Protein backbone atom coordinates (compact mmCIF):
# COMPACT_ATOMS: atom_id res chain seq x y z
CA UNK A 1 0.00 0.00 0.00
CA UNK A 2 1.27 3.43 -0.93
CA UNK A 3 1.56 5.51 2.23
CA UNK A 4 2.96 8.81 3.48
CA UNK A 5 3.28 9.52 7.19
CA UNK A 6 4.21 12.98 8.46
CA UNK A 7 5.65 13.84 11.84
CA UNK A 8 7.39 16.69 13.62
CA UNK A 9 4.62 19.22 14.01
CA UNK A 10 3.95 21.04 17.25
CA UNK A 11 3.71 24.35 19.06
CA UNK A 12 6.56 26.81 18.56
CA UNK A 13 7.10 30.47 19.38
CA UNK A 14 7.48 33.08 16.63
CA UNK A 15 11.05 33.05 15.37
CA UNK A 16 11.51 29.40 16.27
CA UNK A 17 12.29 26.35 14.15
CA UNK A 18 10.78 22.95 13.41
CA UNK A 19 11.71 20.09 11.13
CA UNK A 20 8.93 18.06 9.57
CA UNK A 21 9.47 14.53 8.28
CA UNK A 22 7.46 12.42 5.87
CA UNK A 23 8.11 8.68 5.71
CA UNK A 24 7.14 7.07 2.43
CA UNK A 25 6.36 3.43 1.69
CA UNK A 26 4.81 1.30 -1.04
CA UNK A 27 6.44 2.98 -4.05
CA UNK A 28 9.88 3.73 -5.47
CA UNK A 29 10.49 6.93 -3.52
CA UNK A 30 13.47 8.15 -5.53
CA UNK A 31 11.50 8.03 -8.78
CA UNK A 32 9.08 10.78 -7.79
CA UNK A 33 9.14 14.44 -7.00
CA UNK A 34 7.68 15.25 -3.62
CA UNK A 35 6.00 18.34 -2.26
CA UNK A 36 4.72 20.02 0.87
CA UNK A 37 1.30 21.68 0.86
CA UNK A 38 -0.20 23.53 3.80
CA UNK A 39 -3.67 24.54 4.91
CA UNK A 40 -4.20 27.28 7.46
CA UNK A 41 -7.16 26.82 9.83
CA UNK A 42 -10.41 27.17 7.92
CA UNK A 43 -8.58 28.16 4.73
CA UNK A 44 -7.68 26.65 1.38
CA UNK A 45 -4.63 24.81 0.12
CA UNK A 46 -1.26 26.46 -0.48
CA UNK A 47 1.74 24.89 -2.23
CA UNK A 48 4.86 25.34 -0.08
CA UNK A 49 7.86 23.47 -1.50
CA UNK A 50 8.84 20.76 -3.98
CA UNK A 51 11.90 18.64 -4.69
CA UNK A 52 12.79 16.45 -7.65
CA UNK A 53 13.29 12.69 -7.28
CA UNK A 54 17.06 12.92 -7.15
CA UNK A 55 16.95 15.87 -4.79
CA UNK A 56 18.96 17.91 -7.24
CA UNK A 57 16.39 20.68 -7.64
CA UNK A 58 14.28 22.38 -5.02
CA UNK A 59 11.55 24.99 -5.22
CA UNK A 60 9.85 27.15 -2.59
CA UNK A 61 6.88 29.48 -2.57
CA UNK A 62 7.75 33.15 -2.18
CA UNK A 63 6.00 33.16 1.20
CA UNK A 64 8.58 30.76 2.66
CA UNK A 65 11.67 31.39 0.51
CA UNK A 66 14.77 31.92 2.62
CA UNK A 67 13.09 30.47 5.73
CA UNK A 68 12.06 26.93 4.73
CA UNK A 69 14.25 24.24 3.13
CA UNK A 70 12.97 21.05 1.54
CA UNK A 71 15.24 18.01 1.35
CA UNK A 72 15.05 14.24 1.03
CA UNK A 73 17.01 11.13 1.95
CA UNK A 74 16.29 8.51 -0.67
CA UNK A 75 18.16 5.86 1.31
CA UNK A 76 15.62 6.35 4.11
CA UNK A 77 12.58 7.03 1.90
CA UNK A 78 12.02 10.22 3.84
CA UNK A 79 11.14 13.79 2.91
CA UNK A 80 11.93 16.74 5.16
CA UNK A 81 10.93 20.36 5.61
CA UNK A 82 13.20 22.50 7.76
CA UNK A 83 11.25 25.55 8.90
CA UNK A 84 13.16 28.48 10.42
CA UNK A 85 12.12 31.98 11.48
CA UNK A 86 8.56 30.79 11.90
CA UNK A 87 5.76 33.34 11.84
CA UNK A 88 2.22 33.27 13.19
CA UNK A 89 0.97 33.06 9.60
CA UNK A 90 2.83 29.75 9.12
CA UNK A 91 0.28 28.10 11.42
CA UNK A 92 -1.29 25.32 9.37
CA UNK A 93 -1.67 21.63 8.75
CA UNK A 94 1.29 20.57 6.62
CA UNK A 95 0.80 17.72 4.16
CA UNK A 96 3.45 15.89 2.20
CA UNK A 97 2.37 14.68 -1.20
CA UNK A 98 3.70 12.48 -3.99
CA UNK A 99 3.98 14.43 -7.20
CA UNK A 100 4.01 12.58 -10.54
CA UNK A 101 3.93 15.98 -12.29
CA UNK A 102 0.22 15.96 -13.09
CA UNK A 103 -0.98 16.63 -9.53
CA UNK A 104 -0.67 15.22 -6.04
CA UNK A 105 -1.84 11.62 -6.26
CA UNK A 106 -0.95 10.50 -2.72
CA UNK A 107 -1.19 12.60 0.45
CA UNK A 108 -0.15 12.06 4.03
CA UNK A 109 -2.58 12.60 6.90
CA UNK A 110 -0.97 15.93 7.79
CA UNK A 111 0.92 17.31 10.78
CA UNK A 112 -0.16 20.45 12.62
CA UNK A 113 2.22 23.37 13.14
CA UNK A 114 1.12 26.11 15.53
CA UNK A 115 3.19 29.28 15.84
CA UNK A 116 2.10 31.24 18.88
Partner 1 sequence: EIVLTQSPATLSLSPGERATLSCRASQSVSSYLAWYQQKPGQAPRLLIYDASNRATGIPARFSGSGSGTDFTLTISSLEPEDFAVYYCQQRTNWPRYTFGQGTKLEIK
Name the minimum Å distance from CB 54 to partner 1.
14
What angle (nearest 5°) sits at the alpha carbon of residue 83, between those of residues 88 and 108? Answer: 95
Cβ nearer to partner 1, comparing 9 with 108: 108
Q: Is 99 in the site for partner 1 (CB under 8 A)?
A: yes
- 5 vs 8: CA distance, rounded Å: 10
Decide the pairing of beta strands 10-12 and 111-115.
parallel
DSSP 17: -
Q: Is 103 in the site for partner 1 (CB under 8 A)?
A: yes
Q: Is 35 in the site for partner 1 (CB under 8 A)?
A: yes
Q: Is 116 in the site for partner 1 (CB under 8 A)?
A: no
Name the minimum Å distance from CB 16 to partner 1.
26
Q: Is 61 in the site for partner 1 (CB under 8 A)?
A: yes
Would you call 60 helix, strand, or coil by DSSP? strand
Q: Which residues bind partner 1 (CB under 8 A)?
A: 33, 35, 44-47, 50, 59, 61, 95, 99, 101-105, 107-110
Amino acid sequence: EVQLLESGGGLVQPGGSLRLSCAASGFTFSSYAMSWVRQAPGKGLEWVSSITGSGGSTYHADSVKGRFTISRDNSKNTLYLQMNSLRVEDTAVYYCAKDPFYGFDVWGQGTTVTVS
